[in-house]
Amino acid sequence: MNKEWSDKNKKMQALIGKEATFAEGVDVLLDLRNDLLTQISYIVNSYPEEAYYQMPFAGADGYHSKTLAYSMWHIFRIEDIVAHTLIKCDEQVLFAGDWQKKTGSPIITTGNELDGEEIAEFSKKLDVKALFEYCKAVTDSTNKLLRSLSYRDLKRRFSEEDRNRILQTGSVSTNEAAVWLVDYWCEKDIRGLIKMPFSRHWIMHIEAMCRISNKLCQKARKGVDPIARCGLSCNHCFLKEWCGGCRTAYNTCSDACRYPDRTCPNTSCCIEKGFDGCYECDELRECRKGFYEYDDVNAVKAMALFTRRYGKKELLKTMDRLHREYEFEKIQEILGNDLEEGLIILEKHSDGELYI
Ligand code: SF4
Ligand code: SF4
């Protein structure tokens, strides 16, 4: 389990268990939920449409066997049902906000009854941007509920009437793969529900989402040129676990993600000029487009200049060598911000005939 999330979860559970620290525990829970929602937001803003219905671990035993879109739907449907129908006895966010229509979902249930290909087919039908808006609306609504709880509420338990109310909404399928959920929730008190649908359930599914997206990126990256048009080596980029490489649809480069079509200015310019990369351009040294607009990434320009002189293979070998020799995340930590000095450092670590 992600250590930061797991630590916050443990801390929250310990704090809400005592009256004196209950309010602090709720703050930690809201903070944890914010971290987790930020992770979903990163996924939603980074990957192409097809990513949300892929099942790279189909048939595996675990939450990672689902799709990204299913995971989002499932986490927030469960939370919506538990927060509104079970605890608050009022209307679910799904119905109040007409989210079934907005998301394009063919179902109102948690999705537990779906299996294999059905999960992929269901996921294809969802409008992921609208789904994320639904996730945020449920989160806001539950956060208000959590803030309104007192320590004494934690021991509140549920009755047969509560159980029947859930079933009457049709929000949980009567299929045996799903219907057990109703008893599972109703056997807990509110403290138990905070632990499962409102915190740990998120962590488990969002970790699975990270695993799914990492796998999709690895698959996308296979056989694709790892040298970015701006000169960066995608194989050595600190984002490599989360990015399929900048020549694939799974490009999560922060510069590309600033644009609606996720095409950065360096890529657009190279395509327009018919270049494989900026290393083929005579204007490279003076260029301030895209990635070159930031002074602290002159290191990337140094890599492009190096590629022009020695080629891509030599750049990859040199980067391997630098990573063996030093511990660093971003290349500017080693090459610095000065273009010429950066180039010299690369040349000193290469096998190529030196120009210096
Ligand atoms: S700035 Fe553009 S070319 Fe460079 S890594 Fe990002 S997406 Fe790729
Ligand atoms: S003008 Fe700049 S962005 Fe365009 S190809 Fe040349 S170096 Fe790259």
Q: Is the CB of 304 under 6 A from ligand 1?
A: no
**Interacting residues of 212 by C-beta distance below 8 A, sequence separation 6+:** 54, 55, 56, 57, 64, 66, 67, 68, 71
The structural domain count of the chain equals 2
241 and 118 co-located in one domain: no
Residue nearest ligand 2's atom 7 by CA: 284
Is the CB of residue 296 less than 8 Å from the CB of residue 304?
Answer: no
Please give the distance, rounded to the nearest whole angstrom, from the Cα atom of residue 169 to the centre of ligand 1.
Answer: 48
Do the domain assignments include residue 278? Answer: yes
Residue nearest ligand 2's atom 4 by CA: 269
pLDDT on residue 133: 98
pLDDT on residue 352: 59
**Interacting residues of 58 by C-beta distance below 8 A, sequence separation 6+:** 65, 116, 120
Do the domain assignments include residue 356? Answer: no
Positions in the chain whose pLDDT score sits under 70: 352-356
Is the CB of residue 40 less than 8 Å from the CB of residue 209?
Answer: yes
pLDDT on residue 52: 98
Residue 64 lies in domain: 3-214
Mutate to test the pocket of ligand 2, among 283, 291, 294, 297 (most ligand atoms within 8 A of CB): 283
Do the domain assignments include residue 126? Answer: yes
176 and 33 co-located in one domain: yes
332 and 257 co-located in one domain: yes
Of 39, 81, 88, 67, which is closest to residue 242 (Cα–Cα)?
39
pLDDT tens-digit map of 275-312: 999 999 999 999 999 999 987 788 999 999 999 999 99
Q: Which residues line ligand 2 (CB under 6 A)?
A: 266, 269-270, 273, 275, 278, 281, 283-284, 287, 289-290
99 and 168 co-located in one domain: yes
Do the domain assignments include residue 187? Answer: yes
Mutate to test the pocket of ligand 1, among 248, 252, 255 (most ligand atoms within 8 A of CB): 255
Q: Which residue has the tokens 């079970």?
A: 86
pLDDT on residue 229: 96
Of 209, 210, 205, 202, which is closest to residue 82 (Cα–Cα)?
202
Mutate to test the pocket of ligand 2, among 268, 273, 286 (most ligand atoms within 8 A of CB): 273
Of 273, 329, 341, which is closest to residue 302 (Cα–Cα)?
341
Q: Is the CB of 250 under 6 A from ligand 1?
A: no
Is the CB of residue 188 less than 8 Å from the CB of residue 211?
Answer: no
pLDDT on residue 353: 56
140 and 61 co-located in one domain: yes
pLDDT on residue 257: 86
Closest ligand to Cα 304: 2
pTM of the model: 0.88
| Cα atoms found within 13 Å of the Cα of residue 130, Cβ hemisphere only | 14
> DSSP 3-state assignment of 229?
coil
**Dihedral sign (CA 79, 51, 62, 122):** positive
Do the domain assignments include residue 70? Answer: yes
Please give the distance, rounded to the nearest whole angstrom, from the Cα atom of residue 352 to the centre of ligand 1.
Answer: 25
Do the domain assignments include residue 196? Answer: yes
Please give the distance, rounded to the nearest whole angstrom, from the Cα atom of residue 300 to the centre of ligand 2.
Answer: 13
75 and 210 co-located in one domain: yes
- Of 188, 214, 240, at which residue does a domain stop? 214
**Interacting residues of 125 by C-beta distance below 8 A, sequence separation 6+:** 104, 105, 106
- Of 159, 187, 214, at which residue does a domain stop? 214
CA distance 210 to 139: 20
CATH number, position 151: 1.20.120.450
> DSSP 3-state assignment of 113?
coil
Mutate to test the pocket of ligand 1, among 229, 273, 279 (most ligand atoms within 8 A of CB): 229
90 and 147 co-located in one domain: yes
- Of 189, 214, 239, at which residue does a domain stop? 214
Do the domain assignments include residue 164? Answer: yes
Residue nearest ligand 1's atom 6 by CA: 253
Do the domain assignments include residue 353? Answer: no
Of 202, 196, 164, 173, which is closest to residue 72 (Cα–Cα)?
202
163 and 257 co-located in one domain: no
Strand intervals (E) in the chain: none
